[in-house]
Structure 1
């Protein structure tokens, strides 16, 4: 069962209502959908593929197989003859790009290309937030303002560059363990040849099919809260694969750590305002303190823990 694929360019024409409904369905019924014709040039995406692949090959691949924790633990498990599986690490090479951290220095064109790409992705995220506002029937700019803690540009926009190398024993370790995302809107440029990404839909794991040039969108825990549960953050994972290196570039538009998150007033029945249908009012930084310890555990206790901490 393929996840929804939406032609984002339809928003600018006579089929706008259809596109809006498809995005609403993607948010409400799936928590994941793919955008094509999203406005980011294929030429830029090809450059992103090139610089991230070159960075991994020349700056990171050797260290992953030589000294990384997942390789060491998997080798120890195989040597021991155990039938078990490594449960507490991921078969993943990963680093974060943000405005205030150091970027890989040796790959030609990396910083210029990824800076351009991140700027385009941030604009796309803000367009999607406005569409969500409209579909939810809340004031235009509500989600963006909530994430920024008011006016201004205080929200966090980060990009996680991951590679999942071929694994000699893919049944003994997970590429990335199942989890929901803590933040807001996640925009993923995934590998168009090597699969492995799966979402939990109706109790079954479903592949997120690779589509060249597409951007995969999913909603995080904070969108679930702001939408008062109408949009759900969805469990997803990456399987380790025996062949091919999977490239995965996930950008996320998250609230500022000081932002206060709660269900939008318009989405809470007047006579039940104090209940918030189980979703508390909290500061995002407090939620992240809990999430860091419980990322791979059910999300409902995280909401309860942050409620208790308020």
Structure 2
């Protein structure tokens, strides 16, 4: 072997060793949180008069507590009744409303969506009961940053990061091999049964909306679903618990971000407002409609549609008077399928904005960095 070839081989070997070292360090980093976990609920129940420094946001990120958008600027509310008739036809008016909402807002509320109201109420109240359990009962399900599955209190593994004022519980619904009831709470007694049934009904709603998203772009109605992996998709639930906060004007329950996945179906607390959506550089507080879901277009849908549909920044504010519980159900592509703009939506005049990337690769950003506005999807744009 020539000296030149040996040099090339040595460089390649050194690069491979460096790559392995980086991946090993990343893997190790994901095994545990960088600092001892403090439950926000415990802080809230200790009758604090001030806010710990770790939860005080920089001035530029703090909510304007007096800002309250008028009802006329609330996100669209769309009645899905009659969307699909028995003969398979669809309602053009409803389809057009969904199309406009996805292009202009990235958010909309749906009523008459097919999920039973009593199941929605039972799901939210079972989780409220869980968060009211003694600390020791909940710590049994403590999570790690590797999967986030279980009981948690932070996103991201940056040491010394400014944290959000919330606790949460994260669990898998699909694919079936990740669905492990032993990792779901066993108390209150009905929680596993209720959440399992809830997940099945919400998945059906997601499938219906996916058909609409495809059809509205002039595609075969199953095109988006096929791009996600057909029936082999991912679905998970994150239940958010926002305790009362002594200084809500300094904190956020969840920092500004766009959802990294495909689509989010949010069951809000319709008695306590908290979700804010960014529209034309203004934060609009969403007014939840009773027994409505809030549908949120995620980054993967934005990528598939080549930015025809928008994933939008949103955040959660907290208050000093009342706790808040919400359920975010994430409908995601199969984790190892490369997601990129659909060929039918690109041309010489409308080139693809994003290179292919699997959802596993994509979501690693938020799992390590935490929520950071639209920075990830924007950094993913292909150079012109």
Please indicate the TM-score interval, normalised by the length of the shorter structure. Answer: 0.7 to 0.9
Partners of 2:297 and 2:312 within 8 A in 1: yes
Give the structure 2 partner of residue 82 of structure 1: none
Q: Give the 3-state SS of the residue equivalent to 1:237 in structure 2.
A: strand
Deviates more, 1:52-61 or 1:245-254: 52-61
Does residue 228 (structure 1) correspond to residue 309 (structure 2)? The answer is no
Once the two structures are TM-superposed, the CA of residue 44 in structure 1 deviates from its matched residue by 1.2
Q: Give the 3-state SS of the residue equivalent to 2:306 in structure 1.
A: coil
- Identify the match of residue 123 of structure 1 among 197, 204, 211: 204
Partners of 1:40 and 1:120 within 8 A in 2: yes
Deviates more, 1:52-61 or 1:243-252: 52-61
Over 6 Å off, 4+ runs = 61-64
Runs of at least 5 residues in structure 2 that lack an aligned partner in the other structure: 1-72, 140-151, 155-159, 174-178
Q: Give the 3-state SS of the residue equivalent to 2:81 in structure 1.
A: helix
Give the structure 2 partner of residue 83 of structure 1: none
RMSD in angstroms over aligned alpha carbons?
Answer: 2.5
Does residue 94 (structure 1) correspond to residue 168 (structure 2)? The answer is yes
Q: Give the 3-state SS of the residue equivalent to 2:331 in structure 1.
A: strand
Once the two structures are TM-superposed, the CA of residue 140 in structure 1 deviates from its matched residue by 2.0
Q: Distance in 1 between matches of 2:298 and 2:292?
A: 19
More helix by share: 1
Once the two structures are TM-superposed, the CA of residue 98 in structure 1 deviates from its matched residue by 1.2
Does residue 142 (structure 1) correspond to residue 217 (structure 2)? The answer is no
Q: Give the 3-state SS of the residue equivalent to 1:113 in structure 2.
A: helix
Cα distance, 1:15–1:61 mapped onto 2, change above 3 Å: farther
Deviates more, 1:8-17 or 1:279-288: 8-17
Does residue 17 (structure 1) correspond to residue 17 (structure 2)? The answer is no
Partners of 1:225 and 1:262 within 8 A in 2: yes
Does residue 292 (structure 1) correspond to residue 367 (structure 2)? The answer is yes
Q: Whose Rg is larger?
A: 2
Q: Distance in 2 between matches of 1:195 and 1:62?
A: 29
Give the structure 2 partner of residue 209 of structure 1: 287
Cα distance, 1:113–1:252 mapped onto 2, change above 3 Å: same
Q: Give the 3-state SS of the residue equivalent to 1:129 in structure 2.
A: helix
- Identify the match of residue 191 of structure 1 among 269, 274, 280: 269
Runs of at least 5 residues in structure 1 that lack an aligned partner in the other structure: 71-85
Partners of 1:290 and 1:306 within 8 A in 2: no
